[in-house]
Structure 1
Amino acid sequence: MSQPPSSPPAASRPSLPCSGCGAHLQYEPGTAGLSCPYCGHRQEVGAPTREVREHAFATIVAKPRRPAHELAAHHYDCRNCGAHVQGGALSRVCQFCSAPLVADTTDDPQIVPEAILAFGLDRNAAREALRTWTRSRWFAPNGLKKVADAESMKSTFLPHWTFDSATTSDYKGQRGQYYYVTETYTATVNGKQETRTRQVRKTRWYPARGRVSRRFDDVLVTGIDRGPVDAERLKALEPWPLTSAVAFQPDYLTGHETLRYDVEPESGFAKAKAEMAPVIEQDCRHDIGGDVQRVSHVDTRYDAVTCKLMLLPVWTGSYVYQGKSWQIMVNGCTGEVHGERPYSVTKIVAASLAALILVALVAWLFITYG
């Protein structure tokens, strides 16, 4: 069976030399510039020459491009040690000399990022966020609180899609109104039967239909659906300060790994619709009114759909506890941490026993004095 044609290998982009010692500069998290890891010289990243733009969805999907599985590896020529390195990322470091390598995206067969959210946390701040996280875990072994560092912390830009849309939704459903009826029942009190009454809530249902509208802005969808990145864990790092994003510049990638997207914009928009659906349903329920609502059908039209590809900063790594490696991710802007963690069986059993004792005590008090 013939294989689909692959895209031609992309060339590497020349790295910026340090004017102080000639080494390669790399972007310094938490700043607006590049720094030299050897002599400490700093150089500001030039101010963006344009604003972040939203692109019409129809224009994006019409662009000629290749899906991720058809892309050839980038060929990086390290200008520091002369090594020839291959890889699928937009940026990385040389495995031989750790010099920063950035791919040239001029003729990229994928959609080029429109915006980037720079790292606000440096490596030390990411480690401190990890320490705070390990100390605050419920039912964690006591020894976990002593974890002071990550085995490896790697700064990585991860691709995401954002979608904007004006939505108009026609719905059908039912509006429920509460009413109360008086019921008579027999109760045994101190060995005697007594007749008592109580108010019982019931619901009358009325047909409802209508139309609601909403404008969605920057619905965020992860651009990675396979590989080493856990999409659900990445989702847990939200929210992101998206309004702080700036127009994409390759200089921000220097010294950090940048992954390509494998979720195409069409699939991304389908996921964005799934994110919008609960909000639209809530709008329908609010429009129906009453005491309780049922929504049986919603037909939504999406107009003025725009999207953009942007890169978000994540510290990825692992920490070691009792000989096992546990994976974690840190939001490179807010310090939010999410990842794997151990549980203390002793603490869980003790909490369960305490809960059972409390339930038994309440039941005994109710039987004795109720």
Structure 2
Amino acid sequence: MQEAAEKKSELKKSCINCGAEMLYAPGTTELQCEYCGYSQQIPPNESGFQELELNTYLDSLGHHSHSQAILMLQCKNCGANQHIEEHYKSLHCVYCNSPLIIEDAQKEEWILPGAVLPFQIDQKSAHRIFQKWVKGLWWAPNKLKKASLDPQNTKGLYSPYWTFDAQLYANYVGQRGDYYYVSVPYTTTVNGKTVTRMRQERRTRWTPASGSISGFVDDTLIKASTQRSGVIPRKVARWDLSKLVPFDSSYLSGFVTEKYTIPLKDGHLDAEKEAERIADRWARRDIGGDTQRIHSIDMRLTEQTFKHILLPVYISAYRYKGKRYNFFVNGQSGVLSGQRPYSFWKIFLFVLMIIAILSVIVFFTNQG
């Protein structure tokens, strides 16, 4: 089992023609050599996703049956744990651009990914999206526009997530609210006279409700890493998980891979909170009516499984006047989001220009 895991997670693939490292070509199922152009098909995995039984791993009994050691570098600035492949000559953290020291690399155990969402857009496309966005920014510092010209500032990252599946059962007690309307008199003034009119007011009729709900909770997505800064925005962190493929390390070749820093146990606690929100929605739907009150829900989860999955994002890190800014591009959809700095001098000069124009207008108006 351990030998199979090592073979499955072996990251470097060499070109059979020239010996250079083969890199995954986004949007395809191929590895390509950037030196001689040779391409190699990534064989499909017929075994499907590997869902792991949750309780076994929470008890640490199954941890070593599906885990493997991988060489990791931890950023001392933001805390991100990342595997940097050989073709990255400049070792810098993908989140904060701080230098990484190769001598600090350590082997760490990780639960092997069960699935990966391959990049669908390449680095050049992601960088063009970033450049277009920068060019459209008003009052952006010139240094930012210069930084956007260097594609090396945009790096592809596979970010780790947990997904949890479970059968959900729950009993609930609450109330069903049905709207009805009554006519209520009110007074108003018309042409100096006080008159009485009628208006409709909404009321709610409450009736007791209780029942049972059940269903399958599929792929609850929980972020599996955290940094002191550089968090992927919600706008970008939306992927079509139906496009997940069984894990093959070939898809990682040419990209940075981040290791989870949120333990499985903590991720499961977040998943349980999400399951409670799902149970609340299901109970309200079961109660029906126009509105609902939930007094209590007794929830139970069974047949719980999980996957460690890797999701694609491009990150550009930029520092301006001592403050770091991150720009993110979803590696599947191309959606962009990020913080931006403002140039004080550009805004100052613009205000001066407006004042000068207004002064000229006032001067000629007074002359006339």
TM-score, normalized by the shorter chain, greater than 0.5? yes
Describe the superposition over 1:194-241 as per-residue Cα deviations: whole angstroms up to 9, x where unpaired.
Answer: 1222222222322222222221111111110235541xx354324322
Matched position secondary structure for 1:306 = strand
Provide the secondary structure at the position in 2 that maps to 1:109.
strand
Give a deviation string over 1:132-187, Cα, whole Å, max 9, x none: 55578xxx52659x956566111111111111111112112222222333322221
**Distance in 2 between residues matched to 1:53 and 1:121, nearest whole Å:** 26
* 3-state SS of paired residue (1:158): strand
* Pairing 1:155-234 to 2, within 5 Å after superposition: 155-227=156-228, 229-230=230-231, 233-234=232-233
Name the amino acid aligned to 2:185. Answer: T
CA contact (8 A) 1:93 1:256 kept: no
Displacement of 1:20: 2.7
Q: Which runs of 4+ in 1 moved over 4 A?
A: 94-98, 131-136, 146-151, 319-325, 342-346
Q: What is aligned with 1:295?
A: 294
1:235 and 1:298 map into 2 onto residues whose CA distance is: 29
1:365 matched to which residue of 2? Answer: none
State the match for 1:272 in structure 2. 271
SS at match of 2:111: coil
1:89 to 82, 102, 115: 82
Q: Residue 112 of structure 1 corresponds to which residue in structure 2?
A: 112
User: Which residue does 2:49 correspond to in 1?
Assistant: 52
Aligned counterparts of 2:185 and 2:254: Cα–Cα separation in 1: 77
Q: Using the alignment, how far apart are the partners of 1:317 and 1:129 within structure 2?
A: 11
What per-residue deviation string (whole Å, max 9, x for no partner) do you get for residues 239-259 of structure 1?
322222222222222221111
Give a deviation string over 1:111-147, Cα, whole Å, max 9, x none. 11111111111012212333455578xxx52659x95
How far apart, CA to CA, are the structure 1 residues paired with 2:182 and 2:139?
55
Spell out the pairing of 1:1-370 with structure 2 (5 A cutoff).
13=10, 15-48=12-45, 50-62=47-59, 63=61, 65=63, 74=71, 88-93=81-86, 96=89, 109-131=109-131, 133=133, 141=138, 149=149, 152-227=153-228, 229-230=230-231, 233-318=232-317, 326-342=325-341
Whether the 8 Å CA contact 1:72–1:88 is kept in 2: the answer is no
Q: Which residue of 1 aligns with 2:354?
A: none
Give yes or no for contact 1:74–1:88 (8 Å, CA) kept in 2.
no
CA deviation after TM superposition for structure 1 residue 58, in Å: 1.8
Contact persistence 2:11–2:249 (CA under 8 A) = no
Letter paired with 1:281? D
Instruction: Tell me the equivalent position of 1:360.
Output: none
Instruction: State the Cα RMSD in Å.
Output: 3.6
In 1, the alpha carbon distance for the partners of 2:277 and 2:168 equals: 13
Partner Cα distance (1:238, 1:292) in 2: 31
2:186 partner amino acid: Y
What is the distance in 2 between the residues matched to 1:172 and 1:40?
65
User: CA–CA distance in 2 between the matches of 1:185 and 1:234?
Assistant: 50
1:38-63 deviations in whole A, cap 9, x for unaligned? 23222222332532122221233244
* Counterparts in 2 of 1:113 and 1:194: CA distance versus 1, 3 Å: same
**What is the count of residue pairs matched by the alignment?**
310
- Aligned residue for 1:92, secondary structure, equals coil
Q: Which residue identity does 2:109 align to in structure 1?
A: P
Cα distance, 1:262 vs structure 2 = 1.4
Q: Which amino acid aligns with 1:32?
A: T
TM-score of the superposed pair, with normalisation by structure 1: 0.71
Unaligned runs of 5+ in 2: 1-5, 74-79, 92-106, 348-368
Identity of aligned residues (%): 34
Residue 16 of structure 1 deviates from its aligned partner by 2.8
Post-superposition CA distance 1:73-107 (Å, at most 9, x none): 8389xxxxxxxxxx953443366588xxxxxxxx9
Give, in whole Å, the separation in 2 of the partners of 1:163 and 1:154: 28
- Within 2, Cα distance between the matches of 1:306 and 1:192? 72
One-letter code of the match for 2:82?
A
Q: Which segments of 5 or more consecutive residues in structure 1 lack a partner in the other structure?
A: 1-9, 77-86, 99-106, 347-370
Inter-CA distance 324–111: structure 2 relative to 1 (3 Å threshold): closer
Letter in 2 for 1:93: E
Report the residue type matching 2:174 in the other structure. G
Name the aligned partner's letter for residue 86 of structure 2: V
Residues 160 and 220, structure 1, Cα contact 8 Å, conserved in 2: yes
- Read off the aligned partner of 1:116 and give its amino acid letter: V
Q: Secondary structure of the equivalent of 2:40?
A: strand
